[in-house]
Amino acid sequence: MRRPRFMVRSHVLRLTPIGMHIDEVVEVVGSREGWRSYVNYNSGFMHPRLGASSRSSIIGRMSIRVRVDPYWPSTVIPPWGLLARIATSILWGFDSDGILIEVYVHKSMGW
């Protein structure tokens, strides 16, 4: 999870390829240590970059959100690098049949 977002996404797509059913993804996610998940069978996920400005920012009809245990950055950027940890969230969007249509990786700094 310490790699850039595109590399994490590529790894996640190897574990849970597009076209996989939501129940299979739930099983994969549940087997990963340090991944805390939330499954929503009633709504897709809001794309973090698009925000709430339009309905098109909702990806899918069902979703899974995983928050991966935060880590300390390997490069220290004073003064924030000494205090901030990197949190990684992984979002899966599924169509109305429960088929995976999108995976998005989001990284943020937290305290």
Number of structural domains, the chain?
A: 1
Q: Which domain holds residue 67?
A: 5-110
Q: What pLDDT score was predicted for residue 77? A: 58
Closest to 37 measured CA to CA, from 2, 71, 14, 68 = 68
pLDDT in tens, the chain (111 residues): 668 889 999 999 999 999 999 999 999 999 998 888 999 999 999 887 655 555 568 899 999 999 887 766 666 555 555 566 778 899 999 999 999 999 999 888 765
Contact 93, 59 (CB under 8 A): yes
For residue 67, give the nearest of 96, 95, 37 by alpha carbon: 37
Determine the pLDDT at residue 5.
87
Residue 39 structure tokens: 């499954």
**Sheet strands (E) in 1-111:** 35-40, 45-46, 58-59, 62-71, 85-94, 100-110
The tally of CA atoms less than 13 A away on the side-chain side of residue 92 is 28
Is residue 21 classed as helix, strand or coil in its secondary structure? strand
Considering the entire predicted model, what is its pTM?
A: 0.81
Structural contact between residues 59 and 102, judged by C-beta atoms closer than 8 angstroms: yes
Alpha carbons 37 and 34: distance in angstroms, whole number: 10
